[in-house]
Every structure is written in C-alpha cells, then in structure tokens.
Amino acid sequence: MKETQLKDSVHSDSAGKQVLSRRSLIRAMALGFGSMTMTSLVSCAPAAPAAPAGSEAGASEETAPAQERQTIVMWYDLGASDAQVWEQFCANYNEVNEHPDITLEYEQFPGGEMGTKIMTSIATGDPPDISFRTMNDVAAWHDAGGLAPLDDLMRTVDLDLDDFLPQYIEWSSLEGQLYSITMDILPIAALINVNHAEEAGLDIHNPPADGPSLIEWSKAMTVKEGDQIVRSGFLMTGSSVQPNVVFGIIAQQLGAQPLNQDRSQVTFNATDAPVQAAQWVLDTFDKHEMATRDIADRYGAYGQQVGSIFWTGPWTLFGYVNTEGLDFITAPVSLIGDTLTTEAREYGLVLFNAPDRSQEHLLAGAKVIKWFSDNSMLWVTEGRGAPPRRSILNDPEYQSTGLDWQLRKPFAEAVEYSFFDYLNMVDGGQFAFYAGGSSTVPKAMDPVWAREKSIEEGLADLEQAWQKILDQRKA
C-alpha cells in the first residue's frame, strides 16, 4: 500500500524552513508532492505597467506620478497539501496582477508557532498585515489591540457582505464590529469504507442515518481476532480528539448547550443529554465492541483500513483519495439525538493595524482580502472546507471543479446546520470538543473514556473548568 501522510491542518508541523519561488512551487505541485510540508517566504512582485506608446523615460512633467507600491505581508500556519494549495492561491494573486500597486508576500509557520509570533509582533508594533486563523485567535488579537475593524474597509473595496451566510458575519464580529472575513467552514461528516461495507453485505447507497443503523453498520464491519478488535467498525481512539468530538456532537444533537445566551453561566449539564452522549461513546468500546481504545493515530488507522466509519473533517479528503486501495464514500454524521447538527471550524482572514500604518496601507490590505474572498473557488474545491458565500455555493463550477462533488457534498451541506467548536471570544478554544492535549474537554473527559472516572465526575470537572473561564472574563 502506498503510504500517505495526513495532518490535521490545525495542528500541522513543518519539517523545516525553505524558500521557494513560484515556479518551484508550481513544479512541485505538478509532480504530485501533495503531502510535502513547506515553510516559505515568497514575494512575487507584479511587473511594472508598460509605459504608454511614444513616451520617454524621464520626460514627464506631463506624466502622472507613479503610485507608491504597497507590500502586504500574510502569515499562515497551514501544513501538508493545505499549504500547497494556499501558496498556489497566493501565487495566483500576484500573477493576476489585479492591483499593480500591491505586492503580496506570504510566510508559513509551523503549527502552534504562529499564534505566539503574532502576539509578540502586536506587542512590538510590527505584526503582519494579514493572517488566516480561527475566531478564537482573532478574539485574542483583538483583545491585544492589534486588529483593524473591517466594516468600513470592506464597504470601501466593495466586498459584498450580503453574499455571506449571515451566521458567518455574526460569528466573525466582536463587540458589534466585523474583524474577520470567513474563507472556509470545516464541518465534521462521515467517511465510510466501501469494501468493508460490501464485505458485510451492507447497502453502500443507503448509509446509516440514525443511531441504531450506525451501530448496526459498525458492528457488522468490526473484525476481531480472538477478543481483540483488529478493525473498528466505528473508528475511535482511547483519548484526545476522537471520543471527545463524537461526544460533543451527540450531546448537542440531544439538546445540550454549553453556555447561556450571554455567556455568563455554564448550562451544559442542565439536562441529561451529556450523560447520554458520554454513555454512547463508552458503549462503542464496552457494550457494542465496535471500537477499540488501542488506536492512537486516527488518520493513519483509517488510511490503513483498520477503521470503517470515521467522523472527520474535509481536510482529510485530498490525502485519502490518493491512498492506494482505499475506496470510501462520505455521508452526514448520523442523527443520534433529536436535531441534526455537527461540529465545524471556521477560518477567516484578518487585517492587523499598527501605529505607523496609514489608511492607504490598510486599504491595500483590504483589497487583498477582498480578492481572496472573491476568488476562493480554488481554495474551497481543491484546498479544504466549504465556502460561506451563497454565490459560490450556488455556482455550478463549485460542484464541477476540484475533488469529486459526491465526496464534498455532505461537508458543503453541513455548513447550514453546524455549530462552531471555537467560541468567538478569548479562550474560546477551551470550549471546543475537537481538542487534544491539556484543553478543558479532554482533560475532564479522557479519564471517563479510560474508565478512571465516572461520567458524572467528568462532567462535573468540565463544568467547573468552563465556569472558571467565564468567571475570569467577568472579573
């Protein structure tokens, strides 16, 4: 089997920093190096406009003074194939040359490093001009005083904000002002192994849509050797992201809401929905025996076909379609509760301000952001997530371009019914179920999945951790 390396773009690492020309980048992409991770600083200055016919250099009392060129610097921390498509996106901006007076430079940082660098750059008064990030980070940068509000700037450059689905304008706003232009939404949906389903006699054209059918399918596709599960019908890990994101989705399908409307009080445990959701996760391991705690690398496990149904995001598609021997379809997450919903991440472009930045310079940055939003077809068909704009969602090219539409369709449709994992506030990432490490959800709930604590103890720990964050915000 051909080995495919997959990385979640939010947590990707870089193998090292290197400088690539646009020509080298395009050559690398053409050769199919889709899993290569790069760190690069690329500056592709558009050619200067040609002089009018009959003019002479230096003659120009009558020649209008040349516009001062603005250099706009973008930072991002995408990795693997995501980074390659984004760099092509950036190269396209410079090549199209829609703004001859603006040059775009773009730099990639290893995952986890960029946020710290930006906070430091805000403190020293020298941030980049633009960055690509979630609203959790945007809220922190706004709190540090580093961002320019976008409402007036976007109106000035004629970005059609009415074209955006309204929830994404609301989500990208802080204190009544717009601070981010959403570029893509990354909902969780299901990947289902076609060969495993057919071996089990299941109808791949009628994937599991509810809890009982999901359990039926998962048990049918599970393979054991003695008492050991060697293929999980429903792919889980023993801790970290996978059990927690499944838990969070089911809890909110059952009606749980983490916070009250004004975000002053934790309300997650107001009903028994989280208890039911946590029990469902535990039952995948211990009652239905359709998953094993022994898997640590969920991406590798699915690529190696030791998992059959995988709840994951659209960032995995472009790697898996190139994995030899892996045949899969996609489907919405199953409706286990009362309301179909799924967890999603939202990424957008923000504009930084600094004491020495002129309005002209901010306007140049706004023009770049508008161009990226207006020309995002490449990103949302070959890069990663689904678009937030009606005009793109309804454009026939969106379905006919890039990866097979049938694979992308469940993710695109989930844009309408997703809830956000990161809250748009400082420390909002602590309320995300799609989280690992020392974040509040795995810290509280991983001992439950390991049978080291009861469900009630884990939920009490989670509520206490969340309420502490809210109380600190009020202090």
The predicted structure's pLDDT at residue 67 = 61
Whether 189-344+420-474 and 9-48+68-186+346-400 are alike in CATH topology: the answer is yes
H/E run at residue 455:
helix 455-474
Of the candidates 301, 303, 307, 306, which has an alpha carbon nearest to the alpha carbon of residue 317?
Answer: 303
**10 Å Cβ neighbour count for 227?**
6
E strand residue ranges, 197-286: 223-225, 228-234
Q: What is the pTM of this model?
A: 0.84
- What CATH number was assigned to the domain covering residues 9-48+68-186+346-400? 3.40.190.10
Q: Residue written as tokens 């009861």?
A: 454
The predicted structure's pLDDT at residue 27 = 32
Decide the pairing of beta strands 177-178 and 173-174: antiparallel
The predicted structure's pLDDT at residue 111 = 74
The predicted structure's pLDDT at residue 29 = 37
The predicted structure's pLDDT at residue 177 = 96
Of the candidates 237, 231, 204, 165, which has an alpha carbon nearest to the alpha carbon of residue 387?
Answer: 165
Of the candidates 208, 213, 337, which has an alpha carbon nearest to the alpha carbon of residue 271?
Answer: 337
Does the domain spanning 189-344+420-474 belong to CATH 3.40.190.10? yes
Question: Which is it for the CA torsion 33, 37, 41, 45, positive or negative?
Answer: positive
The predicted structure's pLDDT at residue 66 = 54
What tokens were used for 177?
A: 């002002």
- Residue 173 · residue 164 · CB < 8 Å: no
The predicted structure's pLDDT at residue 383 = 85
What residues does each domain of the chain span?
Answer: 9-48+68-186+346-400, 189-344+420-474
Radius of gyration from C-alpha coordinates of the chain: 24
The predicted structure's pLDDT at residue 259 = 95
Per-residue pLDDT of the chain (475 residues; tens, 9 = 90+): 433 333 333 333 333 333 333 333 333 333 333 333 333 344 444 444 444 343 334 444 444 445 678 999 999 998 877 888 999 999 999 999 899 999 999 999 987 789 899 999 999 999 999 999 888 899 999 999 999 999 999 999 999 999 999 988 998 999 999 999 999 999 999 999 999 999 999 999 999 999 999 999 999 999 999 999 999 999 999 999 999 999 999 999 999 999 999 999 999 999 999 999 999 999 999 999 999 999 999 999 999 999 999 999 999 998 899 999 999 999 999 999 999 999 999 999 999 999 999 999 999 999 999 999 999 999 999 888 999 999 999 999 999 999 999 999 999 999 989 998 888 899 999 999 998 888 999 999 999 999 999 999 999 999 999 999 999 987 7
